[in-house]
A and B are shown apart, each in its own frame.
Chain A
Amino acid sequence: MEPELAVALPAAGAVVTAALRPRPRAALLVGGALGAAGLAAILLAAPGLTSDQLGVTLSISAMNRTLLLAAAGSLALVVAFAPPRTERASLLTWGLAGIAGMAAIAVAPDLDMVILLTLAIALLHAALGGRRGLAARLRAPALAVALLGVGLVFARVEGSPLLARFAAVGLAAGLAAALGTLPYIHEFDPEELTAASPIAWIAFLGPILGLAIVTRARELVPEAAAAFGAMLIGLGLLNILWGSLASWLTEKGTSAWHYSFMADWGLVLCAFGIQVADGRAAAVLILYGILLGRLPLYLWSRQSLRERVQNDRPINLLAAAMLAGSAPFAGFAARVFLLRGATQLYWPLALVIAIGLLLWLPPSLRLGRSLGWPRGKLAVGAGIALALSVAIGIYPQPLLSLAGL
């Protein structure tokens, strides 16, 4: 019953929190309790075991479970240490809705359901409102759904062996469009609310969705798995280059953060493309870094970005080091795994990735400065994010064991 509860409890939490919005304290209390119960259901769900209580076979993999826990941790961090003037109940509502959607994707029995769930999430996300028009908000995720659907159809029909490669193209293109990475960067408005902006796709929903698509695509087109992996590596390198350079050189601070997520996804795509255990370990660690490091720091920097405040205090330098993937933070361990995996596959690839990694330094310094001078709750939140990253970086094995690696 755990997979069903992992979806139902956060969904119920989102509904109750929305209903209790006029009473924020009660909303936070009830939503937090239901969210924590959902987290327990995720934690207790045994990887690989199936549940058939609703007439649909549901099961959760170890990697999915680990990333769901990270997403829940990220939401808890962001709600508990929300920036001043942020409506925490509203943040919790949309976060819990996202967790319910991600849990549904994680436990879905096949790619058909994953794609349909993605469309449902895209419609709900578009309905959130925001500065962009509804058509602009829905366009990229719905296009991703169409591309994934075409890939799915090509994977299933009989005919020329080339069809499997077309399927791989559709699935890789759909994945990029869903995440909002090159060549389908989502339209971004720096002034838009984070929950309604493309950051929700690239930083919060993306990790689970990406993992679901990549693992199921490999099962669906095993004969084109090598081509699919090569496409992921190609897209990954493109995003590393574009994301890091744009994050460094773009004028707007908020856009710089958006591009930095793209650069991190470039590393994840490369790691997914390298079909060895080290690649998977690198992907899990980088996704952890996105969920528990980059996303909370982005939210906490919004205020200082608006006020154009920049600082060079030790906390800013530490944040910059974490974002750049320096030792002893989690990003460093991830990069070591990635380079080791790339060397096993094809050593010149490791060389290219290593050169690409140098591009993280200038934008990370810029992003670290944009955090301003976090005080009070924000300083505590930033401290926790940094400490978590150091702990994972120094000893990543417990996390990798939880992910079945």
Chain B
Amino acid sequence: MIVLADGRRGLALGIGLIAVGLAVLAWTTGMWLGGALLLAGGSVSIVALLRTGRQDWGLMPAGSTPRLILAAVGAVVSLWLAASVTTGPGAPLRFAVIAVLGLMAARLLQGHSAVAVLAAAAGLALALAGASALGPNDAGLAPYLLAAVIAAGATFLPVPEKRGA
């Protein structure tokens, strides 16, 4: 959604999907509080996106076919990396983290709108917190807390909005 949308509603939906997905994955590994923090960070980010600025979806505007192809190819490559190239438990988390990191990096490179870049940064923070569960040692709550603060704070940064005619 973050790759495909330009409008605030579309970006908010994207952040929401990332937060819910990673929170559920954290809960499956027993990180109840960590998952709740991700959900809280994502929720604040959504509120910040929907509170100000022009409210529109901006889904797949004209000329966004390359973005659609990028999202599909990104998902397939991430699935291949998570399920085939890498082994061991936690394949869904590996898929989610690799897909979000890869697609957010792509969004950052091709995005010229400040709102989209900030939403991508919020998505990055949530994915990095998810990645901490892949480590051999228990990372504790610190990465989840920091990621939630970053995701919540990113969309509050003042952004100059383009005004209509």
Q: Which residues of A contact B (CB under 8 A)?
A: 55-56, 109-110, 112-113, 115-117, 119-120, 122-123, 126-127, 133-135, 138-139, 142-143, 145-147, 149-150, 152-153, 156-160, 163
| Cα A122 to Cα B121 with chains together (Å) | 10
Partner of B124, one of A109, A117, A119, A157: A119
How many Å from the CB of A256 to the closest CB on chain B? 27
How many Å from the CB of A250 to the closest CB on chain B? 25
**B98 pairs with A150, CB closer than 8 A:** yes
**B97 pairs with A153, CB closer than 8 A:** yes
| Cα A55 to Cα B111 with chains together (Å) | 38
Given A110-B135, A138-B121, A158-B88: A153 touches B140 (CB 8 Å cut-off) = no
Chain A residues lying within 8 Å of B24, measured Cβ to Cβ, are none
Is residue B69 within 8 Å, beta carbon to beta carbon, of the partner chain? no
**A153 pairs with B114, CB closer than 8 A:** no
**A112 pairs with B157, CB closer than 8 A:** no
Of B116, B141, B154, B158, the most chain A CB neighbours within 10 A belong to B154
**B150 pairs with A112, CB closer than 8 A:** no
Chain A residues lying within 8 Å of B108, measured Cβ to Cβ, are 138-139, 142-143, 146
**B146 pairs with A55, CB closer than 8 A:** no
A–B Cβ pairs within 8 angstroms, 21 of them:
A56-B140, A110-B139, A112-B131, A112-B135, A113-B143, A116-B143, A120-B146, A122-B121, A138-B108, A138-B114, A138-B118, A138-B121, A139-B108, A146-B101, A146-B104, A149-B97, A152-B131, A156-B136, A157-B134, A159-B85, A163-B86
Chain B residues lying within 8 Å of A133, measured Cβ to Cβ, are 112, 114
Given A112-B128, A120-B146, A142-B120: A153 touches B98 (CB 8 Å cut-off) = yes
How many Å from the CB of A148 to the closest CB on chain B? 9
Chain A residues lying within 8 Å of B9, measured Cβ to Cβ, are none
Interface residues on B, range: 35 or more
Is residue B127 within 8 Å, beta carbon to beta carbon, of the partner chain? yes
| Cα A329 to Cα B118 with chains together (Å) | 44
Secondary structure call for the B interface: helix
Chain A residues lying within 8 Å of B136, measured Cβ to Cβ, are 156
Is residue B20 within 8 Å, beta carbon to beta carbon, of the partner chain? no
| Cα A228 to Cα B45 with chains together (Å) | 37
**B86 pairs with A158, CB closer than 8 A:** yes
Chain A residues lying within 8 Å of B127, measured Cβ to Cβ, are 149
Q: Which residues of B contact A (CB under 8 A)?
A: 85-88, 94, 97-98, 101-102, 104-105, 108-109, 111-114, 116-118, 120-121, 124-125, 127-129, 131-132, 134-136, 139-143, 146-147, 149-150, 153-154, 157-160
For the A-B complex, the count of residue pairs with Cβ-Cβ distances under 8 Å equals 122
| Cα A122 to Cα B142 with chains together (Å) | 19
How many Å from the CB of B113 to the closest CB on chain A? 7
Chain B residues lying within 8 Å of A146, measured Cβ to Cβ, are 101-102, 104-105, 108, 124
The 7 closest A-B CB pairs, nearest first, are: A146-B105, A134-B114, A159-B86, A158-B88, A157-B86, A135-B117, A156-B134
**B112 pairs with A116, CB closer than 8 A:** no
How many Å from the CB of B108 to the closest CB on chain A? 5
Chain B residues lying within 8 Å of A158, measured Cβ to Cβ, are 86-88
| Cα A113 to Cα B139 with chains together (Å) | 9
Given A123-B157, A149-B101: A135 touches B113 (CB 8 Å cut-off) = yes
How many Å from the CB of A151 to the closest CB on chain B? 10
**A55 pairs with B134, CB closer than 8 A:** no
Chain B residues lying within 8 Å of A115, measured Cβ to Cβ, are 128
Chain B residues lying within 8 Å of A109, measured Cβ to Cβ, are 142
Given A149-B127, A150-B102: A113 touches B142 (CB 8 Å cut-off) = yes
Chain A residues lying within 8 Å of B132, measured Cβ to Cβ, are 112
Chain A residues lying within 8 Å of B101, measured Cβ to Cβ, are 146, 149-150, 153
Given A120-B153, A123-B157, 15 other A-B residues pairs in contact with their CB atoms under 8 A: A55-B141, A109-B142, A120-B146, A120-B150, A123-B121, A135-B116, A138-B114, A138-B121, A139-B111, A142-B120, A145-B128, A150-B102, A157-B86, A158-B87, A159-B88
